[in-house]
Structure 1
Amino acid sequence: MAPAGSAAAVAADERPARRVAPSPLEPGATRDPYRTYRVLREEFPLTHDPLLRAWVISRYADVASALADARFTHGHRPGDPPCAETHTDVDEAELRAVAERTAFVLARRIAGRPRADLVADFCHWLPAGTVAAAVGVPYRDMMRLVRGRAASALAGQCTARISVREKALAGFLADVLADPDLVEALRDAPAGLVARAWAESLRREPPVQIMMRRTRGEIHVSGGVLPAGAPVALLVGAAGRDPDRFRDPDRFDLLRDDPGQLTYGPGPCPAVALAALEAEYALLALFQAMPRLRLADGFRPEPTGVVTRAPRALIVRPGG
């Protein structure tokens, strides 16, 4: 060991401390995980996180590849090829009809109130109510089945994953209502424009921020090689704001020409179609039942969560 004050000791003191990769699970990350994601993307595209007990990848190219690569196992998204095995036969026209009917019933219940919480009074009910109507089960029974983890027996594994659709819908409505320009653009917008807004919301603030997978063998990614048989955390929230993939990635851009959400896969799946229909008819029903709908004075939606992320409340004045 070099004596204090020696040239060697002074040189050691002047060496910069080795930077340690931040973790999405660190205290404070739930309020704004995107600062952590930025550091990981730029400086630690491949790192092992002791809190997650997994390797972490955060760049869009790596995350998107991992979600589609058969060398990654354990888990899938609605719309990915393996999920077709769990589908029940569902008529998309019937899905559209029940999504529309359920959204309008819920919106009319809220319309006469001086204040309402759209998370508790609308987003919590629409996904389960739509599934219940689609499969012909009374809503009260569907909620009991969901709590008992038995809904997939009736609705299929993907469609029965109601909590993700709840969070996605809450985040979508928060994005729209927090921006008066978006409210005006989407109030009487065609379905195609609403679909673009829905995809942009899923990209910018995905309801599932972290997806877990496991490698079948060694896999090359940015920053190195993932070992075989290793758990891997895919930071979907980080990938959605990768500036190497998206122009001005932190901005909600309704007319974005470089879309690329990763919450849902690209394949045909009732859950993917149903989530989009719920978003479409949610806006239509809310704006028709409450033409002056706006956020309550002084309220700003704040998404929270680490693995999944959405606002816990969305307080509005139905009468404006």
Structure 2
Amino acid sequence: MNPVTPSAATPSGPEPGRATSPVRTGRGAAPLPGRVRTAPVPVGEPGGAGGRTVAPSPLDPGASQDPHGIHRRLREEFPLTYDPLLRAWVLSRYADVATALTDGRFTHGHRPGDPPCARAHVDVDTAALRSVTERTAYVLARRIAERPQADLVADFCHWLPAGTVAAAVGVPYRDMMRLVRGRAAGALAGECGTQIAVREKALASFLGNVLSDPDQVAALRDAPAALVARAWTESLRRDPPVQIAVRRTASEVPVSGGTIPAGSSVALLVGSAGRDPERFRDPDRFDPLRDDPGQLTYGPGFCPAVLLAGIEAEYALRALFAEMPRLRLADGFRPTAAGLITRAPRTLIVRPGG
């Protein structure tokens, strides 16, 4: 998935902030023609100067530390709003974001697994890819197994995606970080293979989610591949590495809260959609066994980059638990995600020996 670059989004259509027709907001609102970033409120209430209140922005101060309150308010009160900071219309509900990621009326950019990226793919040997990923994961795990303390982000997550690609295409380890983020990655999986930083962040969030719950550690320590895959999907839903993606409308598109004009930049709040209570029960909870699974970060799996990300997650878990059977988070440490466009824990401090 390609993150949005705020300065690259160019608004189109009516003047931002000017309503062209009444729009109802909230869960019961039907999509009505309209293009607004405000909603009526009683005059005199906080934020109600002139009878209107302004929608929060995903780029507001403090959003990097805790975007979920902003996302919640956008889903509930401003399902369609124009954001001058992003210079784009904003969608925050699961149904709307899912539509924008798959509907042909939304163009510009792609996520791994979407049809447009297939043209850049190269054939890969899945068995060979699994072998080299497994070998790389175990090498990295052994390097930190004897330490009293380690940071899995800096010492493991940062190296596994790049190391897997480098080993698969024969790039010497010493040249890995210099070469792998371009020519080598493209040789493995086409254009999508260069999205190494996204896979790093997805892996950090995955390991953080698993290690934060001793019950999950016990359940996944010797789990079959199918259960690990469910845990990986659940982590992508709850904590996607790309929080905001961008699309452009090829024509007018009705969505919750109004209609987006043709030729408009649209910011998709993937992080908000994954925690939409209209789609997921108890959405803030990490639950690999949930009976309403789903995520929007990666496509259905035929993209080599999508396949590679899942394989890396599986062998990361297996290697870490095999080499460090008593692996746990350091005393008093809790993973804290940060970031606006992309998001993940910046550190995962662990005690390899328990």
**For the superposition of Structure 1 and Structure 2, which TM-score range results when normalised by the shorter chain?**
over 0.9
TM-score between both structures, scaled by the size of structure 2:
0.84
Match of 2:270 in 1: 236
| Matching residue's letter, 1:227 | P
Once the two structures are TM-superposed, the CA of residue 257 in structure 1 deviates from its matched residue by: 1.2
Question: Which moved further from structure 2: 114-123 or 258-267?
Answer: 258-267
- Could you say what secondary structure the match of 1:159 adopts? helix
Is 1:312 equivalent to 2:341 in the alignment?
no
Is 1:118 equivalent to 2:152 in the alignment?
yes
Distance in 1 between residues matched to 2:43 and 2:279, nearest whole Å: 40
- Could you say what secondary structure the match of 1:154 adopts? helix
Distance in 2 between residues matched to 1:96 and 1:206, nearest whole Å: 23
Say whether the 8 Å CA contact 1:203–1:240 is kept in structure 2. yes
Distance in 2 between residues matched to 1:14 and 1:43, nearest whole Å: 15
Match of 2:290 in 1: 256
Deviations 1:144-177 (A, max 9, x none): 1245x44444231112210000000000000011
Match of 1:154 in 2: 187
| Matching residue's letter, 1:207 | P
Say whether the 8 Å CA contact 2:83–2:90 is kept in structure 1. yes
Distance in 2 between residues matched to 1:81 and 1:285, nearest whole Å: 33
| Matching residue's letter, 1:181 | D
Is 1:141 equivalent to 2:175 in the alignment?
yes
Distance in 2 between residues matched to 1:120 and 1:20, nearest whole Å: 40
Query: How does 1:208-287 map onto structure 2 within 5 Å?
Result: 208-287=242-321
Once the two structures are TM-superposed, the CA of residue 139 in structure 1 deviates from its matched residue by: 3.0
Say whether the 8 Å CA contact 2:140–2:160 is kept in structure 1. yes
Match of 2:211 in 1: 177
Say whether the 8 Å CA contact 1:81–1:267 is kept in structure 2. no
Distance in 2 between residues matched to 1:116 and 1:256, nearest whole Å: 31
Identity, % of aligned positions:
76
- Could you say what secondary structure the match of 1:48 adopts? strand
Distance in 2 between residues matched to 1:221 and 1:117, nearest whole Å: 43
Deviations 1:46-83 (A, max 9, x none): 00001111100011011001100121111111111111
- Of 67, 80, 86 in structure 1, the residue corresponding to residue 120 of structure 2 is 86
Say whether the 8 Å CA contact 2:327–2:353 is kept in structure 1. yes
Say whether the 8 Å CA contact 2:121–2:304 is kept in structure 1. yes
Say whether the 8 Å CA contact 2:165–2:185 is kept in structure 1. no
Say whether the 8 Å CA contact 2:171–2:184 is kept in structure 1. no
Once the two structures are TM-superposed, the CA of residue 13 in structure 1 deviates from its matched residue by: 5.2
Say whether the 8 Å CA contact 1:128–1:139 is kept in structure 2. no
Query: How does 1:4-23 map onto structure 2 within 5 Å?
Result: 16-17=48-49, 18-23=52-57
- Could you say what secondary structure the match of 2:300 adopts? coil
Say whether the 8 Å CA contact 2:74–2:92 is kept in structure 1. yes
Match of 1:95 in 2: 129
Is 1:60 equivalent to 2:131 in the alignment?
no
- Of 23, 26, 31 in structure 1, the residue corresponding to residue 65 of structure 2 is 31
Deviations 1:99-125 (A, max 9, x none): 111000000011010110000000000
Closer, same or farther in 2 for the Cα pair 1:267/1:81, shift >3 Å?
Answer: farther
Say whether the 8 Å CA contact 2:298–2:306 is kept in structure 1. yes
Distance in 1 between residues matched to 2:166 and 2:250, nearest whole Å: 38
Once the two structures are TM-superposed, the CA of residue 304 in structure 1 deviates from its matched residue by: 0.2
Once the two structures are TM-superposed, the CA of residue 87 in structure 1 deviates from its matched residue by: 1.1
TM-score between both structures, scaled by the size of structure 1:
0.93
| Matching residue's letter, 1:190 | P
Say whether the 8 Å CA contact 2:327–2:352 is kept in structure 1. yes
Match of 2:24 in 1: none
Name stretches of at least 5 consecutive residues in structure 1 with no aligned partner.
1-10
Say whether the 8 Å CA contact 1:303–1:309 is kept in structure 2. yes
Deviations 1:118-137 (A, max 9, x none): 00000000000111111222
Aligned alpha-carbon RMSD (Å):
1.5
| Matching residue's letter, 1:139 | Y
Match of 1:4 in 2: none
Name stretches of at least 5 consecutive residues in structure 2 with no aligned partner.
1-41
- Of 129, 132, 152 in structure 1, the residue corresponding to residue 166 of structure 2 is 132
Distance in 1 between residues matched to 2:254 and 2:301, nearest whole Å: 26
| Matching residue's letter, 1:257 | D
Once the two structures are TM-superposed, the CA of residue 208 in structure 1 deviates from its matched residue by: 0.4
Say whether the 8 Å CA contact 2:198–2:242 is kept in structure 1. yes
Distance in 1 between residues matched to 2:197 and 2:175, nearest whole Å: 17
- Could you say what secondary structure the match of 2:82 adopts? strand
